[in-house]
Every structure is written in structure tokens, then in C-alpha cells.
Amino acid sequence: MRQDYEMVIGLEVHVELKTATKIFCSCPTTFGAEPNTQCCPVCMGMPGTLPVLNEQVVEYAMKAGLALNCTIASYSKQDRKNYFYPDLPKAYQISQYDLPLCEHGYLDVEAEEGTRRVGITRIHIEEDAGKLIHDEQKGTLLDCNRCGVPLIEIVSEPDIRSSQEAKAYVQKLRSILLYTGVSDCKMNEGSLRCDVNLSVRKKGVKELGTRTEMKNLNSFQFIQKAIEYEFGRQVELLEKGEAIVQETRRFDQASGKTYSMRSKEDAQDYRYFPDPDLVPIRVLPSRLQAIQASIPILPDQRKKEYVQRYAISAHDAELLAADRATADYFEMAVGKTQYPKLLANLILSEIARHTDKEAIRIPINPGHMAMAAQLFGSGRINSGTAKRLVQMMWEDDRDPETLVVEEGLEQIQDPAILSAAAQEVIAENEKIVRDYVGGKKAAFQALVGQTMKKTKGKGDPAQIQEILRGLLDTK
């Protein structure tokens, strides 16, 4: 059934900006503080209080907009979005409605069919709501610390057609925002959250179906799982002749299913009107130029350079450029080796294995990493030793050439030594040899592995394979 339908996805990504204070008051934005210790009458919306816009919020929002190819409005305003929910003490949220700060951007993502351009409808600034905490003994509690934390909401066009594309879009978006420094994008702390709007339609049909919205997804895995389940649920309903209800749904991590929360509101339900306490936002051309000049080289530019200058594959270049710290590290090292592709492979495999957590510093001097790639590329060490060398330098950052000499790690290329090792392996593994002669090609790799073990991992793999084939062909 699924093959007859396609999903149409638009994403709303909420990003907390990395300001020291909130959007309309001087309360701090520190994550993890004791509940209700970082709020005041302004961010609680007490009668008689007046908000004052944090100028850095506007600058960060414009910086994000420019990095995402948006047009920045010279005139925009802030509006009150009215809704009644326990995590919103004042019963309205200050946001932007018909005159957002940023519009008409785009983001290019790598899809199975190649590069897909996803349009960005708008980016607007707004304040975050509080947080509900559900406790089995005490019931539902409200922490207002998050009230008034500055957000940008990045709204995409409905251009995404798969869960993989949705994941790639959010990953690329996060990468660009981290480059610009406007947010720490820590999904586990709620700094980046995604709402998925999804509808389905028969393939070839242009009219959009009824959409549902899945709220507050805070991991790439959950985004994919929620999309796949919701797509299947909607297809099943349509096949039964039942109607899709426009509603807001939540994704349950334990079951992997989505459940209805409430009916989905339309814009008129929020009764938007201009906030009477806040003046319009006017952007001077000189300020816009200064912000544009402050944007660093972004991932796509770096990716293009890595492919053209170093002949690195587009896939590896994308991975290298995705993280700013990793890209900076690569660029500090690459000028010191003749083997940029090997350097990239070591960084993407061995360094990445140690830096799967956020904000981990690479303790290996970039020059040492370049030398490891040089030793590997020149044939003085093999791939297994190169990986071992990175591990040794991670624990104790020393000159890799010195380590190779002191530890006796140089690759064995002497044909006599390798041939003797291969002959011993053949004599000791008669069954594996019979399997290979009998046509089981996988047995050959077992013999290669055994020979590498004989040489304590230092043998030249290419020579070992050549020698083994020569010996086995006489069997």
C-alpha cells in the first residue's frame, strides 16, 4: 500500500538562541537551574510589566537567516499569539505573524536522488514557553525558567519527501547554526526541537492531503521513527476509506507510535494582533552588512573546496565539513601531508570514534595527525597500525614517527618474512585451505587475517594477499 502513496513533509524547527539573558527581561538563560529560580514578573507576564527586546536576539536571528539564504526584512513587528495552556502563564506568546524578520530562504541537502533544495518559508523570533513536568506522585508541575528564553522558529516549505530527507535537513540546519554560533543546538537540552507536519497523497496527485503535526521531537532518530509510523498510520486510514483528522500528535519513544494530543489550530484560532508594548523592528543596511561580514565560511563552501582541492569524495567532504571544530582541525593538518584523503579517513573513522559526545576537544596535535597519515601513505605503516597509532596519540600525544620506531611498528615488506608467515598459516589451517580450494572465497580473508596475526599486525596486507594467492594457486 505504501508504494502507491508519497509523504509530504514540512518542518518547524525551534532553536533556542545562545544569549546570556532572556528575550524581554534580564533573567538568565542557564540550563539546569532549580525550577522557577530564573523568572521574574516580565517573563511571567504579570499585569503592568513591560517587555524590552534583547537586541542580540535580533542580530542572532538575522545571522541565522543570512546563513540560510533568507531575505532580511527592513521592517518587521512582533505579535501576540493567544492560546491557553498550562506552560504559558500569561496565556499569550510574543511571536511574529505576517511580518517576520526573515523570509524566502533555502537549504540544500543530500538525498538518495542527489541534492534536494528545501525552501525555507520564514524565520521569526519568539519567546519560549515554560515546561511541564509530569510526576506520578505530585501530578503535573510547572517550571517557568524557560518562559521568555529567546527562540527562532525556522519554517520549511513542504518540500521533504522522506524521513531520510527530514533527518538530513535537520542535521544540515544544526550544522549551519553551530557554525554561526547563534545556538548550542543541544537537542538533549531542548535547544533544538522539531515539529513535523505530515500529510500523504497518492503518487502523481498535486493536491495536498490533511496534515497532522507531531510536536517537540528532540533527536534525529525520533524524527525518522515518528515520520515512518505516522506515514503508515495515515496510509492505512485512507485505504480503509477513513478521513485524516487535522490534529496535533505526540510521539511516544517507548512504543514508537504517535498519539493524539489535541485538535490542530489554524492561524485564526490564535487571534494574532500586534503587541502594543513593543515597537517595530527596523534594520539598517549598515547593520545588515556588518552581520553578513561576521558569518564564517559555511559547510557547503568547505565541502566544495575539499572535493575540488583534495579529491575527497562528496560524502566524506560533507561529513568533514559538518562539524566546525572537525573541519578546522582537518584544515590545520592537511597542509602537512601529501595524503589528504588518508588524513580525512583517519579523522572520520578514528577521531570520530572518540568524539561522539558533544564539545570534546581533540588532544592530538594536528601536525602529529598529518604525520600519521604521511607514515600510512608512504607505506611505513599499514592501516591497522595507523589506527593503533591514533589510539596511542589520543592517550599520550607524542610524535608518531618516534612512536613507530620505539614500538617497532614499521610495516613488514620483506617478501621472505611475509612468505614464511604465509606458508606457516597454510600448514596450520588445512580445513580453511580446503574450503578456499573448494570455492569458498571468504576463506581467503581468514587466511589473510591469520597471516597478519603472525606478523603481529605489521605485515603489508597487499603483499600478503599476493603471496597467499601465489601459494594457494599451486594447491
* CA terminus-to-terminus distance, the chain: 54
Q: Enter the pTM of the model.
A: 0.86
Residue 131 has what pLDDT?
92
Domains held by the chain: number = 3
**Shared domain check, 111 and 39:** yes
Q: What is the pLDDT of residue 356?
A: 61
Chosen domain end from 290, 322, 353: 290
420 and 361 part of one domain: no
Query: Is residue 237 located within the same domain as residue 333?
Result: no
User: Which of 268, 290, 312 corresponds to the end of one domain?
Assistant: 290
* Domain interval for residue 308: 299-407
Please check the confidence at residue 307 and state whether its pLDDT lies above 90: yes
pLDDT of 264: 67
Clarify whether residues 67 and 206 are in a common domain: yes
Are 147 and 35 members of one domain? yes
Condensed to tens digits (0 to 9), the pLDDT of residues 255-289 reads 999 999 877 667 788 999 999 999 999 999 999 99
Same domain, 316 and 393: yes
pLDDT band for 436, please (50, 70, 90 cuts).
Answer: confident
Whether residues 279 and 352 fall in one domain: no
pLDDT score, position 359: 47
- Checking if the pLDDT of 126 tops 50, the result is yes
Share of the chain above pLDDT 90, in %: 74
Mean pLDDT of the chain: 92
Give pLDDT tens digits for 203-247: 999 999 999 999 999 999 999 999 999 999 999 999 999 999 999
Mean pLDDT of 156-166: 96
Q: Please check whether residues 375 and 334 belong to one and the same domain.
A: yes
Q: Please compute the mean of the pLDDT values over residues 20-25 and round it to a whole number.
A: 98
Q: Looking at the structure, tell me whether residues 251 and 167 fall in a common domain.
A: yes
Tell me: the pLDDT tens digits for 38-93?
Answer: 999 999 989 999 999 999 999 999 999 999 999 999 999 999 999 888 899 999 99
> Residues 398-404: what's their mean pLDDT?
94
285 and 427 belong to one structural domain: no
**CATH number (domain holding residue 435):** 1.10.10.410
Residues 333-391: pLDDT tens digits? 999 999 999 999 999 999 988 876 544 689 999 999 999 999 999 989 988 999 999 99
185 plus 114 within the same structural domain: yes
The pLDDT of residue 423 is above 70: yes
What is the tens place of the pLDDT at every residue in 132-145? 998 889 999 999 99
Tell me what pLDDT residue 475 has: 61
Of the three residues 368, 384, 407, the one that is the final residue of a domain is 407
One domain for residues 228 and 328? no
